[in-house]
Chains A and B, each alone.
Chain A
Amino acid sequence: MNMLSRKAMDRLFTFFCIASTALAIIPLGSMLYTIFVKGFSVISIDFLTKLPTPAREAGGGFGNAIQGSFIVVGIASIIGIPLGIGAGMYLAEFPNSRLSRIVSFTADVLTGVPSIITGIFAYLLIVLRFGGFSALAGGVALATMMIPFIVRTTEEAMKLVPAELREASLALGAPRWKTSLAVVLSTARFGIITGVLLTIARIAGETAPLLFTAFNNRFWFDGVMNPVATLPVMIYTYAISPFEDWHAQAWGGALVLVAMILVLNIGIKLAAGRRW
């Protein structure tokens, strides 16, 4: 090949790479643009605080779904965070035990479980046993998704703590448990908090695990053993409905959900870059 065609190939390739990047960004831009344009026309105080109304009836909002999302994610956090951090600490503190290797591998495999499967799991474990869809079942489904990520993130954060700190503490005569908690865990706490918040941001938008666990509800939250509305399920229900005004409200819900998730995500990353 002569020099000219080699250079042409090089140019063509550069163009392909730039075009690929543009092609990936166009859908993102289109999504954010549509969400903001269509969402803003729906959002109002009523939308954020009122109960949904039947189709073709003006007014009404996603107030109960916003409340429900916080509750279900809260239940998932109560179950998932302590268990995940405990397991992550074990992996970081005792990395050479056989149990560590098994736990580590299993946690990695669990991160790949499709979200819909965690829904089936919580359905069989909670809904069938306790006789109905419930906020608790939704929380369990989301916790199942959460745990492996929290395990990983805790382990990573604790392994970043310099070995010298740990050794200094041990050399001063502190027992291992005290070293783990007072030195390693407390040094790693910002990293762990960052990871936990990012995990929460990731599961807050999950729909599939909630479809037949938390289910849906047209009214306010009514105890953990009752079905509850959540933002993602509400958006889904409204999006696939045949009603124009519900479609419009689905975009409003999407704006609320995306705003919460992006603010959490970008906020954490900015904070992590600066301080942590």
Chain B
Amino acid sequence: MKLRVPSFSILNGKNWKFTPDTLFQIFLGVLSIISVIVLAALLLRELIKGSWPALSTFGLEFLFSTAWNPVTGEFGALPFIYGTIVSSMLALLIGVPLSLGIAVYLTEIAPSRVRAILSPVVELLAAIPSVIIGLWGIFVLAPFVREHLAPPLMNYLGFLPLFKGPAYGYSVLTAGLVLAIMIIPIISSVSREAILAVPSLQKEGSLALGATRFETIISVVLPYAKGAIFGAVMLGLGRAIGETMAVTMVIGNNPQIFTSLLHPGYTMAAVIANEFTEATDDVYLAALIEIGLVLFAISMVVNIIARVITWKYLKLEEGLS
């Protein structure tokens, strides 16, 4: 039998008395209001106030204009929104299958000793600061992409606009790879929880009917876990959208829209990181803050969806994002 935490709220009764206990609850309540609710409200207020000059000057046009020319005072966020979406989608395209492979390997296939070593190793990846992944991206990954990855892509898939040359090391492709590396730990660890939550009777039933392990995983385990896995993917997407340093360091920072993944691009977070201290006039600064507001709004939506889904399917709480 599980005993419930006695959680009567002292302030709920109509005729409460002023005691040390009520004082305690009020004190903690005020702390929690300050540290979470006031913080969130301030954050929103400052972002809206800070971007107001741009919001009122450009209106909705801001989101759909491709011109970004601080010198002539033209500000459009589309190249950055486009770059953020493309690099994040690329990261999911690469990262999600790998994460699922890792999750399946570490739950269903690996012997327990291998599992005990590899699980913390994959999670270690999440502890590496993004500036260091960016440093590695500049000096190791970008040259590798330029010399070993892009040329075959151009040779064999160059007829697709996505892989049209010339190839640069600093490109949307490199950014997508870096982001994939960064979202693998979170997607694989949440997916692992989801797979572990599948009742073993279901798996055993399938195996007993003669299904192979592959068939069991595809037709029993993954369908059972798909809700939580979708939540995990959204958590990864949320992280990819907001990731700043590693992307800024490898994407090439070019505010133009290219269909080719081998060309440099730009993201919302990267343009803020790069140009914020250079923004001399008020409208320029406000335009950057407005990009921040758009980024904030998009990542909030993605994160809320992710939270609601993972809450629904898993009782996951500690340190996931």
Which residues on A are within 8 Å of B, measured CB to CB? 6-7, 9-10, 12-14, 16-21, 23-25, 27-28, 30-31, 34-35, 82-84, 86-87, 89-91, 93-97, 99-100, 102-103, 105-121, 123-125, 144, 147-149, 151-153, 156, 159, 163-164, 166-167, 170, 175-177, 180, 195, 198, 201-202, 204-208, 211-212, 215, 232, 235-236, 239-240, 247, 250-251, 254, 257-258, 261-262, 265, 269
Contacts and interface: CB of A to CB of B under 8 A. Distances in A.
A16 B28 CA distance: 51
B42 interface: yes
A147 B36 contact: yes
Interface stretch (B66-74, B128-136, B257-265): B128-136
A147 B122 contact: no
Contacts, number: 302
B7 A35 contact: no
Interface residues of B, number: 99
A205 B289 contact: no
Contact of A35 (B35, B97, B132, B243): B132
Contacts of B213: 10, 13-14
A113 B242 CA distance: 8
Tell me the interface secondary structure of chain A in the complex.
helix
29 contacts: A17-B101, A20-B98, A23-B98, A24-B181, A28-B122, A28-B124, A28-B125, A31-B128, A86-B27, A90-B31, A93-B7, A93-B25, A102-B37, A112-B306, A114-B269, A114-B299, A117-B296, A119-B276, A121-B47, A124-B289, A144-B43, A177-B20, A177-B24, A205-B131, A207-B244, A208-B244, A208-B245, A232-B245, A251-B135
Nearest to A162: B3
A152 B317 contact: yes
B147 interface: no
A153 B36 CA distance: 14
B109 interface: yes
Nearest to A201: B127
B106 A21 contact: yes
Contacts of A170: 6
Nearest to B307: A108
Contacts of B214: 6, 9-10, 12-14
A254 B289 CA distance: 30
Contacts of A96: 7, 9
A114 B129 contact: no
B134 A236 contact: yes
Nearest to B212: A10
A100 B98 CA distance: 37
A114 B301 CA distance: 12
Nearest to A26: B181
Nearest to A205: B129
Interface in B267-284: 269, 272-273, 276-277
Nearest to B108: A17
A83 B9 contact: no
Contact of A206 (B37, B129, B292): B129
A117 B140 contact: no
Nearest to A115: B244
Given A120-B289, A195-B319, A95 B212 contact: no
A17 B276 contact: no
A97 B32 CA distance: 12
B212 A7 contact: yes
B32 A103 contact: yes
B249 A121 contact: no
A114 B294 CA distance: 11
Given A97-B29, A258-B129, 18 more contacts: A10-B213, A12-B214, A20-B99, A21-B102, A25-B121, A31-B128, A87-B36, A94-B29, A97-B12, A110-B39, A114-B243, A118-B43, A124-B49, A204-B129, A236-B245, A239-B131, A239-B249, A262-B124
